[in-house]
Amino acid sequence: MAAGVEAARGTGQLAGRVIVPGGPHPDLPPRSGGRGEGSPPLERIRISYGSHPVPDERSLQAGVELLDSLEHIPPGWPLLCLISGGASSLLVQPRSPLHLADKMAVTRLLLACGAEIAELNTVRKHLSAVKGGGLAQRAGERDILTLALSDVVGDDPSLIGSGPAVPDPSTFAKALSVLDRYQLRERVPVPVRALLERGAGGAIAETLKPDAALADRLASAVIGNNRMALDAAAVAAARLGYLPIVDPEPLVGDSAAAARRWGAYLASLPRQGRWCAIAGGETTVVVRGGGRGGRNQEFAVALGEGLAGEPIAALSAGTDGIDGPTDAAGAFVDGDSAARAAALGLSAAAALVANDSYAYFESLDDLLRCGPTGTNVMDIKLAVRVGSSA
């Protein structure tokens, strides 16, 4: 996105900063800048690095650098805010008196309990000095256009990347209700609970609201979303000789349950002919075990149980090339996966209980490792009929 802006701007005046995953970290190997293969180097937009899906010191420093860059933009210059999925973790500035450790703890708790991205970002916005319109407030009296790649169902700009430069209709009370839904109010750090309770009681100013005067200077547009990815996949499937069948409803909720529903849907499709079923969305995982994996790998494990013996091969993957805290984007599964796993002494049920889908598919050599794609428009599921049913 940043490279595209530089190319579109040509020789015109331009200054800015982009935050991408990776960069130096004492406990992690170096990663690419995340701009994608073939992207030209940036010349006028400087790069900062952050962490995803849980923020760390890099994300905090990136927030400092971004806010500092605002001080060097000439007065009156309009701002272009480029937002994609992951921005909530990459850009961090805790609301006083919170610290980075508080934000990290809340993020981990919400991710582990299976909270949906809309719920997670509702809480994040009220713990941040830059989310929920906070960046727009820090930018002063400027016109700001947000262009967003959506990683949320419904494409609400206030939820994409937690909306740093768009108004926020949610409230402190709503953020507290999310914690209560997952019985987290007493488990989050004390400063987090105190801040949200004070805010709900009116002792702390709310996030930027749609009826605020500043909101009149803010505009936004979603320039990429999951449906666009699904439509592109359908075009590619047709080109390869498959009949594309796109599911219009997003897959949401628990990953394993959603996989079983989609498996039943695949079983209802024609038993003859070459077709490619395509679906998207963003499911969740409740972490109960100590294994490794991500929502797409868990989806694939559960899907494999229903595909046993069927002439169907499927892929569940994140469009950003990253699934949970792993180096895989997702995993492949087909009608032989369950039998191959059993031959190795592996159990799909045990992998789901232990949240250890990564080890399951690593043993099968069926992980998709493509690296960061440079974009993020939720997840995509593909299933192709590869032969005749018995």
Beta carbons of 381 and 316 less than 8 angstroms apart: yes
Instruction: Give the pLDDT confidence of 245-298 residue by residue, as tens digits.
Output: 999 999 999 999 999 999 999 999 998 899 999 999 999 999 999 999 999 999
Q: Look at residue 263 in the predicted model and tell me its pLDDT.
A: 96
Rounded CA separation 384/368 (Å): 16
Cα angle 90-130-375, degrees, rounded to a multiple of 5: 35
Rounded CA separation 204/92 (Å): 19
Beta carbons of 316 and 296 less than 8 angstroms apart: yes
Rounded CA separation 216/170 (Å): 18
* The two structure tokens encoding residue 1: 């996105």
Rounded CA separation 334/30 (Å): 33
| Average pLDDT along the chain | 93
Bridge-based pairing of strands 144-149 and 379-385 is: unpaired
Q: pLDDT at residue 390 above 80? A: no
Secondary structure (3-state) at 32: coil
- CB-based contacts of 8, cutoff 8 Å, min separation 6: none
Q: Average pLDDT in the 295-305 region? A: 97
The percentage of the chain sitting over the pLDDT mark of 90, rounded to a whole number, equals 87
Q: Average pLDDT in the 231-243 region? A: 97
Q: pLDDT at residue 30 above 50? A: no
Q: Look at residue 256 in the predicted model and tell me its pLDDT.
A: 97
- Torsion on CA atoms 148, 223, 277, 267, rounded to nearest 10: 50
Q: What is the pTM of this model?
A: 0.90
